[in-house]
């Protein structure tokens, strides 16, 4: 249940097309729905601008299906099931067949297209699963990231060839394992906000992503935002929060301007 729905419901009550009792019934489940094993948050979209997402690990296929069903039944934005096994995805799609599966992520009711330009750069082919998770979450929220695959610093010319795309981006997500140097390189090529994702890919003392994580946190390119190891989902959410903040600022500026006229 998002802000647009609540506004429309209020307008319908005002216009008399929906009576007060019906409106109360629709709003009664707004804070959350208690399924016994889960309290499904229907208020998250109003608070954060992003709908609740179902994290599949640790849940049974039946629980995944039931939570998704509860979310899909309420008017709101996109619904996602992330890190799902084949059995979890199958169960959720059997109960809610209108979804679309993208490897370990399933999406229902994707948002309409948005205009912001996002570049999603993966250092190596081994980093693609994490980049793919990020890309699916962004796409579910209406963003179509430009993908730059296999542009790691071992062949620096590959990312330098994409300087124009980086310069014109509204946000850049950098996914890299090994020593995580790509985030610093990209940070020196663009003024766009950068979200860096360390991955667990790497030899020797990569320490399952810890080396890349610490390198990104220590980046000499000022202002790089870093999420946890292999957290493509979190990187997408960071970009979405950034754009939501911009929207709010633009809206507040418009309201302020209108009051001055």
Which residue ranges form the domains of the chain, and what is each CATH number? 3-108 (no CATH), 118-245 (3.40.50.1970)
For the chain, what percent of residues have pLDDT higher than 70?
84
Return phi, psi of residue 53, to 5°: -115, 140
Out of 13-17, 26-30, 91-95, least confident range:
26-30
Q: What is the pLDDT of residues 111-169, one digit of tens each?
A: 999 999 999 999 999 999 999 999 999 999 999 999 999 999 999 999 999 999 999 99
SS3 assignment, position 51? coil
Residue 216: name the closest of 228, 208, 204, 207 by CA. Answer: 228
Return phi, psi of residue 55, to 5°: -90, 115
Q: CA 152, CA 174: separation in Å to the nearest integer?
A: 10
**Cβ neighbour number for residue 21 with a 10 Å cutoff:** 8
Helical ranges in 16-171 per DSSP H: 20-27, 44-48, 61-73, 86-95, 128-140, 157-160, 163-167
Q: Please, which pLDDT band fits residue 52 given cuts at 50, 70 and 90?
A: confident
Say if CB 180 and CB 212 are below 8 A apart: yes
CB within 8 A of 64, min separation 6: which ones? Answer: 54, 56, 81, 84, 88, 91, 92
Q: 28 versus 139: which is more confidently predicted?
A: 139
Q: DSSP string covering 89-127, please?
A: HHHHHHHSTT-EEETTEEEESPPPP----EEEEESSGGG
pLDDT at 1 over 60: no
Q: CA 52, CA 76: separation in Å to the nearest integer?
A: 10
């Amino acid at each position: 249940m998002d802000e647009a729905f609540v506004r429309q419901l209020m307008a319908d009550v005002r216009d008399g097309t929906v009576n007060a009792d019906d409106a109360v019934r629709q709003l009664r489940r707004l804070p959350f729905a208690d399924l016994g094993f889960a309290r499904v948050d229907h208020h998250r979209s109003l608070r954060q601008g992003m709908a609740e997402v179902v994290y599949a690990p640790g849940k049974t296929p039946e629980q995944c299906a039931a939570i998704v069903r509860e979310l899909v039944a309420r008017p709101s934005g996109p619904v996602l099931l992330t890190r799902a096994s084949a059995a979890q995805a199958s169960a959720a799609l059997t109960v809610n067949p209108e979804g679309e599966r993208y490897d370990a992520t399933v999406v229902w009711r994707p948002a309409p297209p948005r205009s912001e330009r996002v570049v999603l750069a993966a250092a190596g082919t081994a980093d693609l699963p994490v980049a793919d998770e990020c890309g699916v979450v962004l796409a579910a929220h209406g963003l179509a990231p430009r993908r730059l695959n296999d542009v790691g610093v071992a062949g620096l010319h590959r990312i330098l060839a994409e300087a124009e795309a980086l310069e014109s981006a509204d946000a850049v997500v950098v996914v890299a394992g090994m020593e995580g140097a790509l985030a610093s390189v990209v940070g020196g090529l663009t003024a766009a906000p950068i979200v860096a994702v360390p991955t667990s890919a790497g030899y020797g003392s990569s320490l399952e992503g810890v080396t890349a994580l610490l390198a990104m946190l220590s980046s000499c390119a000022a202002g790089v935002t870093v999420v946890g190891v292999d957290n493509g989902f979190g990187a997408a959410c960071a970009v979405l929060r950034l754009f939501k903040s911009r929207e709010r600022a633009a809206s507040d500026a418009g309201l302020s301007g209108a009051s001055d006229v």
